[in-house]
Amino acid sequence: MSQSPSLFSRGYIDGIYIPSGLLVFGTLIVKREWLPYAVALAVALGTFKVWNNRVRAVLKPAEFQDFELQEKTIISHNVAIYRFKLPSETAILGLPIGQHISIGAGIKQADGTSKEIVRSYTPISGDQPGFFDLLIKSYPTGNISKYMASLVVGQTIKVKGPKGAMVYTPNMVRHFGMIAGGTGITPMLQIIRAVIRGRPTGDTTEIDLIFANVNKEDILLKEDLDQLAAEDKGFRVHYVLNNPPENWEGGVGFVTPEMMTKWLPKPAEDVKMLLCGPPPMISAMKKASESLGFKKARPVSKLEDQVFAF
């Protein structure tokens, strides 16, 4: 979570202390009797600057707000990273780790009418001041994903949140086993980054991730994941492809109980399995995890569940 700037940061020194000092010193030289007013003005301006620079969470759970598209980075023919601007450079989204946002849009229907469609997405950026990033794959039948793909810089989307039953806290479990398919990587990446960020303050959580895709070029954010795994010995990523290239060293086909046994932690009270991907995959992984000794997953997951599906 982002914090407000330090009172001794360069921004405060250049923006508050030096101008206030010059105002007071100049008044002392030019018109000494105005000194109390100059001091009062310096204090007022300094207080306003501190107040204006504080970090503010902007999300509202019950109210949609408009956010402007600032930048669009094309990853492939149907995948892009969308960066949306927050109201100020110090504002943050205010999204707890593990939760997601709702995006709403009026989508034109076949009969010519417009229908409000809402879908859930997990930002990949965390609470960065000034912006948030969404990784979205556009599907031919996807209402919101097609709408997002049509956006150009300067247009806005409607967002509300946070939503979801998962809220990550440091060391909530000893070991996470994660299984993601396609864009289901986004909530996993959010938690992985939070765990690694927490290492200096004592987060010792181990993470093993199985990331399943159809083709190698479908593996989203592979460079980011590989770099995180290279830099943090507590995080490991295992790739599975339906159509692997020659000399592929990862898993092949669908994720199986054998792969889960090989790469993921065994069932234990301090172990949690996290799932995110297409519904058929989630259904299969719930059954597979139960066959391996994990507690039966509920249709709608709760935070305390041993097997949690986003």
Pairing of strands 100-108, 65-76: unpaired
Give pLDDT tens digits for 156-214.
999 999 999 999 999 999 999 999 999 999 999 999 999 999 999 999 999 999 999 99
From the candidates 121, 147, 168, 239, give the one annotated as an active-site residue: 121
Strands of 42-99 (E only): list them: 56-57, 65-76, 79-85, 91-92
From the candidates 175, 183, 205, 276, give the one annotated as an active-site residue: 276
pLDDT of 2 > 50? The answer is: no
pLDDT band at 1 (very low <50, low <70, confident <90, very high): very low
**Residue 175 bears catalytic tag:** no
Residue 303 contacts residue 309 (beta carbons within 8 Å): no
**Residue 47 bears catalytic tag:** no
pLDDT of 111 > 60? The answer is: yes
Give pLDDT tens digits for 269-282.
999 999 999 999 99
Q: Which helix (H) or strand (E) holds 46?
A: helix 35-53
From the candidates 27, 82, 100, 168, give the one annotated as an active-site residue: 100
pLDDT of 52 > 90? The answer is: no
**According to the model, what pLDDT value does residue 4 have?**
47
Q: Which residue from 226, 205, 225, 213 is spatially nearest to 272, judged by alpha carbons?
A: 205
**According to the model, what pLDDT value does residue 109 have?**
84
CB atoms closer than 10 angstroms to residue 202: 8
**According to the model, what pLDDT value does residue 112 have?**
86
pLDDT band at 238 (very low <50, low <70, confident <90, very high): very high
Binding site, annotated residues for FAD: 119, 121, 135, 137, 144-145, 186
**Residue 276 bears catalytic tag:** yes
Residues 6+ apart with CB under 8 A from 267: 292, 293, 294, 295, 306
Determine the Cα–Cα distance for residues 100 and 151; give it in Å rounded to an integer. Answer: 21
pLDDT of 131 > 90? The answer is: yes
Q: Which two tokens stand for residue 114?
A: 């417009």
For the chain, the residue count is 310
Average pLDDT (115-124) is 94
**According to the model, what pLDDT value does residue 126 have?**
82
Determine the Cα–Cα distance for residues 4 and 85; give it in Å rounded to an integer. Answer: 18
**According to the model, what pLDDT value does residue 9 have?**
58
pLDDT band at 261 (very low <50, low <70, confident <90, very high): very high
CB-count burial class (<10 Å; 0-12, 13-18, 19+) for 103: buried
pLDDT of 31 > 60? The answer is: yes
